[in-house]
Amino acid sequence: MAAACALVTAHAQTPVPEATSLFGQPLFSPPMAGAQKARLEADLARAEADLAAHPDSAEAAVWVGRRLAYLGRYRDAIAAYTKGIAINPDDPRLYRHRGHRYITVREFDRAIIDLAKAAALVKGKPDEVEPDGAPNAENKPRSTLQSNIWYHLGLAYYLKGDFTSALQMYREGMKVSAVNDDMLVATSDWLYMTLRRLGRDAEAKAVLEPIRERMDVIENEAYHQRLLMYKGLRTPESVLNLNTADDIQIATQGYGVGNWYLVSGDVRKAREIFEKVTSGRAWAAFGCIAAEADLKRGF
């Protein structure tokens, strides 16, 4: 059985793992090279220069953390957010992003503390669009600060197996996810899976009512396709072909398909897919973390 997302051999320059799997195995970020690495490092250098020029800026601290994370330097990103919080303890963005990266490194309790803090700080305030660090094909930012806070907070509880708390967070998230179809399908997918885990199938079916074949989805097509599968408009095989999918596709689609088999009663098929997901290289993907968590719990 694949006990954890596949390990990537550490280079001599980076002997310290970025995370430890739920099975206690070290996880290293895949090496980058060429134009991608050069571009991301240049982005980081600009962010660091901006922070050096404006050391008290929460915005600058957020971008240093985000740029570090894009390079797979998750621990450094967490450290950058922590420094930013020391200077700007009431800025929800820093807790939101640090909470996200605590999820990446499998520290779910710390993620919950940070994301709950972020939720408290934005309570009663208008939502705001989050700028993209990796723009989509149309260069249109789709997520918002509050929808991301609730999305990640629900996810942290889900990964702990606390589906009741996850449901509460996703219900809150749905209140701010109707801003566009990308956020609607992202939150709806996890809400649907949470309700199915709780055996609340009628409510899960109701989540699918707004989901249509044609939606204005720019960057969350994987979620859209999974929701169509839950609705009976796609087959699992059309959503995930294990014979042709790469590691990223398996990580992004595999968990939803595996979970669909699980709640449909086909435990053997679910385990097969979860093990396939966790044997890939995309260990930082939420689907991979969720598959790892389910295997660890033995569902």
CATH of the domain at 96: 1.25.40.10
Domain boundary among 215, 234, 253: 234
Q: With residue 54 as reference, give the H or E element that holds it.
A: none
What's the CA dihedral at 75, 81, 85, 88 to 10 degrees? 170
Q: What is the DSSP string of 175-244?
A: TT-TTSHHHHHHHHHHHHHHHHHTT-HHHHHHHTTT--SS---SS-HHHHHHHHHHTTSS-HHHH--TTT
Judged against a pLDDT cut of 50, whether residue 79 lies above it is answered with: yes
Taking the alpha carbons at both ends of the chain, their separation in whole angstroms is 14
Do 194 and 151 belong to one domain?
A: yes
Q: Is residue 284 part of a domain?
A: yes
Do 149 and 219 belong to one domain?
A: yes
Q: With residue 56 as reference, give the H or E element that holds it.
A: none
Judged against a pLDDT cut of 60, whether residue 6 lies above it is answered with: no
User: Cα(119)–Cα(169) distance, rounded to whole angstroms?
Assistant: 10
Do 35 and 120 belong to one domain?
A: yes
* Mean pLDDT for the chain overall: 93
- Range of the structural domain that residue 275 is part of: 1-29+244-299
Do 166 and 117 belong to one domain?
A: no
Per-residue pLDDT at 228: 98
Structure-token match 């997302």, residue found? 5
User: Cα(273)–Cα(277) distance, rounded to whole angstroms?
Assistant: 6
- Sequence-separated (6 or more) residues with CB below 8 Å from residue 254: 240, 242, 245, 273, 274, 276, 277, 287, 291
Can you tell me the mean pLDDT for 176-182?
A: 95
Do 61 and 108 belong to one domain?
A: yes
Closest CA to 259 of 232, 295, 213: 295
pLDDT per residue as tens digits for the range 110-131: 999 999 999 999 999 999 999 9
User: Cα(243)–Cα(228) distance, rounded to whole angstroms?
Assistant: 21
φ, ψ at 264 (rounded to 5°) = -90, 0
Q: Is residue 136 part of a domain?
A: no
Beta bridge partners of 129: 144
Do 56 and 97 belong to one domain?
A: yes
Per-residue pLDDT at 199: 97
pLDDT per residue as tens digits for the range 200-229: 999 999 999 999 999 999 999 999 999 999
Do 213 and 253 belong to one domain?
A: no
pLDDT per residue as tens digits for the range 22-37: 999 999 998 888 999 9
3-state secondary structure of 57: coil
User: Cα(245)–Cα(277) distance, rounded to whole angstroms?
Assistant: 11
Beta bridge partners of 144: 129
Q: Is residue 192 part of a domain?
A: yes
Do 16 and 38 belong to one domain?
A: no
Q: Is residue 135 part of a domain?
A: no
Per-residue pLDDT at 242: 78
Total structural domains within the chain: 3
User: Cα(164)–Cα(247) distance, rounded to whole angstroms?
Assistant: 31
pLDDT tier for residue 4 given thresholds of 50, 70 and 90: low
Domain boundary among 234, 255, 286: 234
Q: Is residue 55 part of a domain?
A: yes
What's the CA dihedral at 86, 89, 93, 97 to 10 degrees? 50
Judged against a pLDDT cut of 80, whether residue 278 lies above it is answered with: yes
Domain boundary among 234, 255, 273: 234
Judged against a pLDDT cut of 70, whether residue 13 lies above it is answered with: no
Do 115 and 90 belong to one domain?
A: yes
Do 201 and 169 belong to one domain?
A: yes
Q: With residue 26 as reference, give the H or E element that holds it.
A: strand 26-27
Do 78 and 153 belong to one domain?
A: no
